[in-house]
A and B are shown apart, each in its own frame.
Chain A
Amino acid sequence: MSLNIDHASVVYPAADGRPPVAALSEVNLAITEGEFVVALGASGCGKSTLLNLIAGFLSPSSGTLTLDGQSVQGPGADRAVVFQKHALLPWLNVLDNVAFGLQIQGVAKQDRYRTANEYIGLLGLDGFQKSPVYKLSGGMQQRVGIARALTCDPKILLMDEPLGALDALTREKAQELILNIWGKTGKSVFFITHSVEEALFMGTKLIVMSPRPGRITHVFDLPFSRQFQSGAPARQVKASPEFIGLREKVLNIIFADEEAVE
């Protein structure tokens, strides 16, 4: 699997007398097999635009996107999206929600339930198959969303602030859970977050984006998620001097962007 974004720009046309807005300008990004790429930046920096571009919900004004050499034309099952919220179907129970993608693809009921049950187990949702999703906590709903995205065996997972609506404790647990799943499945991930600590902890590659026009300004290779995977406790990783040093560096970049906007 390799995703290549080559000089992609997105310009929203002028409206209501305002000039055109450059949401993304000349973005170059390559995501290879098994990479965990995290996008971080002040609001308006175009990280969601970039995700919508990869998902195929949006076409670039100029530049190209290819997935395994094929040009990206619209959404497809090879790129699964995990949303921040509102994406589950409340009229279906947990099992049917997780099996929803397979149902869309016409997989027979027995087969799709078997696959769905595997991922329900992987996400620690066993025993909740028949529960209505609207009765679950936010953290469990998000796990249902992740399980649903995984069932169709996508080449890449696109996660749009998936933990943004969770409380701090649940969020840290969910981070570790996602890293474990990532380790077990070996999927490539594109992950958006507002949290610097989350970005540093989870990614193998961090792209820092800046607004007006939205663009990638810094790229860092990160060692921390690998450290966690090879057995280091999460809190120890987050307390290490390198982690804290990099966190300050990234925070400085982001605050500089915020001040430039004001």
Chain B
Amino acid sequence: MTVTPLPKAPLPKTPGLFARMARARPTKPGEIYGVPGQGNTFWLSVASVTFMLFVWWLVTTLGLVKPLFVPSPQLVLAKFGQIWREGFTNTAFLDHILISTLRVFGAFLLACLIGLPLGLAMGMSPMIRGIFDPPIEFYRPIPPLAYLPLMIIWFGIGETSKVLLIFLSVFAPVVLGARSGVKSAAIEQIHAAYSFGATRWQVMRHVIMPSAMPEILTAMRVGIGFGWTTLVAAEMVAATSGLGYMVLSASQFLQTSVVIMGIFVIATIAFAFDLLMRFLERRLVPWKGRM
């Protein structure tokens, strides 16, 4: 007796992008059905970056774009080496980095020192909220470039107006984050503390502030981002050093490679700090979103 072998089952096909968009399918074991956007993106991101670098290299090497508009990656890297060794406009490269970092982090620290307590107080007290809400909401949506002239008229062209400009851009998100963080505590947690005889201050210290930590850390991340965004504007006037100054003055001499290099340096510092903040977040609030 002969046995006719069963036809081989076709291998299950990995669903394409369009198939996945069209209809939900069962997940693989270990994944949860229906979680939006789940999946590891690391290698895709690596591929995406590699691809962009490759296209950049390709169009510049083939001479499709003039170096004045887009200099090649090699040129930018060479420029980085040159400025690293020789400095830019008679200032060492590390000094440019240092002065910009000091401006941004100085303003950031100041904004946290004043903004976090103020935000918490605004969340806790209707009186303080009533007083400070209008000025903060008034200036928050205004682009820093719009009030830069005022800063200069009032505080001159020295460090004060630069740091103050960055401070203002960090201040608003930090205050708003701390303020809305006050609402994170569940009313049961607050009631539990009061039922043990806690004072208002103890409830603040032991319940409301710790539960506001996740929102505060997020607000700080958002805030420092605004700080770097404002850096170039702050260094537009009467600066003789700093990354923003470097980018702006290079653009005046059409040194596009320096502009791009400066952008990469700013992005790298900002990204490194964001990684640090994410690390702190995992260490300080591992319970975030889990209770």
Interface residues of A (CB under 8 A from B): 55-57, 74-77, 79-81, 83-91, 100-101, 103-105, 132-134, 148, 152
Among the listed stretches B8-16, B87-95, B244-252, B283-291, which one makes contact with chain A, having 4 or more residues with CB under 8 Å of it? B283-291
- Which 5 A-B pairs give the minimum distances between C-beta atoms? A90-B287, A101-B196, A87-B188, A86-B186, A90-B291
Say whether B113 faces chain A, with CB atoms less than 8 Å apart.
no
User: Is B210 in contact with A87, judged by CB distance below 8 angstroms?
Assistant: no
Q: Give the contacting residue for A87; candidates B192, B197, B206, B287; CB below 8 A.
A: B192
Say whether B82 faces chain A, with CB atoms less than 8 Å apart.
no
Hey, which chain B residues are within 8 Å of A55, CB to CB?
191, 195
User: Is A105 in contact with B196, judged by CB distance below 8 angstroms?
Assistant: yes
Interchain CA distance A104-B206 in the complex, whole Å? 9
In chain B, positions 146-201 with a C-beta closer than 8 Å to chain A are 186, 188-189, 191-198
Contact A91/B195 with A86-B186, A132-B286 known, Cβ cut-off 8 Å: no
Hey, which chain A residues are within 8 Å of B290, CB to CB?
90, 134
Contact A87/B291 with A100-B196, A104-B197, A104-B198 known, Cβ cut-off 8 Å: no
The contact sample of 11 A-B pairs, CB cut-off 8 A, is: A74-B194, A75-B191, A83-B188, A85-B188, A86-B189, A87-B189, A100-B193, A104-B206, A133-B291, A134-B290, A152-B196
Say whether B50 faces chain A, with CB atoms less than 8 Å apart.
no
Say whether B109 faces chain A, with CB atoms less than 8 Å apart.
no
Hey, which chain A residues are within 8 Å of B194, CB to CB?
57, 74-75
Hey, which chain B residues are within 8 Å of A77, CB to CB?
195-197
Say whether B121 faces chain A, with CB atoms less than 8 Å apart.
no
Distance in angstroms from A188 CB to nearest chain B CB is 15
Say whether B213 faces chain A, with CB atoms less than 8 Å apart.
yes
Residue of chain B at shortest CB distance from A55: B195
Say whether B207 faces chain A, with CB atoms less than 8 Å apart.
yes
User: Is B287 in contact with A57, judged by CB distance below 8 angstroms?
Assistant: no
User: Is A103 in contact with B206, judged by CB distance below 8 angstroms?
Assistant: yes
Hey, which chain B residues are within 8 Å of A87, CB to CB?
186, 188-189, 191-192
Q: Count of chain B residues with Cβ under 8 Å from any Cβ of A?
A: 22
User: Is A81 in contact with B193, judged by CB distance below 8 angstroms?
Assistant: no
The secondary-structure label for the interface of chain A is: loop
- B198-235 vs A, CB cutoff 8 Å, 1 = contact: the mask equals 10001000110011010000000000000000000000
Q: Give the contacting residue for B287; candidates A101, A134, A152; CB below 8 A.
A: A134
Additional pairs, 4, CB under 8 Å, beyond known A87-B191, A89-B207, A148-B192: A75-B197, A85-B188, A90-B290, A103-B206
Distance in angstroms from B74 CB to nearest chain A CB is 50
Residue of chain B at shortest CB distance from A141: B291
Residue of chain A at shortest CB distance from B192: A87
- B272-291 vs A, CB cutoff 8 Å, 1 = contact: the mask equals 00000000000001110011
Residue of chain A at shortest CB distance from B213: A91
Hey, which chain A residues are within 8 Å of B189, CB to CB?
86-89
User: Is B192 in contact with A81, judged by CB distance below 8 angstroms?
Assistant: yes
Hey, which chain B residues are within 8 Å of A100, CB to CB?
192-193, 196, 206
Hey, which chain B residues are within 8 Å of A134, CB to CB?
287, 290-291
Hey, which chain B residues are within 8 Å of A88, CB to CB?
189, 291
Hey, which chain A residues are within 8 Å of B186, CB to CB?
86-87
Interchain CA distance A57-B213 in the complex, whole Å? 26
Hey, which chain A residues are within 8 Å of B207, CB to CB?
89
Hey, which chain B residues are within 8 Å of A57, CB to CB?
191, 194
Contact A91/B188 with A86-B291, A103-B206, A104-B198 known, Cβ cut-off 8 Å: no
Residue of chain A at shortest CB distance from B187: A86
User: Is A91 in contact with B196, judged by CB distance below 8 angstroms?
Assistant: no
Interchain CA distance A181-B210 in the complex, whole Å? 31
Interchain CA distance A134-B288 in the complex, whole Å? 10
Hey, which chain A residues are within 8 Å of B211, CB to CB?
89, 91
Residue of chain B at shortest CB distance from A151: B196
Distance in angstroms from A79 CB to nearest chain B CB is 7
Distance in angstroms from A109 CB to nearest chain B CB is 14
Hey, which chain B residues are within 8 Å of A86, CB to CB?
186, 188-189, 291
Hey, which chain A residues are within 8 Å of B206, CB to CB?
89, 100, 103-104
Interchain CA distance A101-B189 in the complex, whole Å? 12
Distance in angstroms from A195 CB to nearest chain B CB is 21
Interchain CA distance A25-B196 in the complex, whole Å? 28
User: Is A91 in contact with B191, judged by CB distance below 8 angstroms?
Assistant: no
Distance in angstroms from A81 CB to nearest chain B CB is 5
Contact A91/B193 with A86-B188, A104-B198 known, Cβ cut-off 8 Å: no
In chain B, positions 93-128 with a C-beta closer than 8 Å to chain A are none
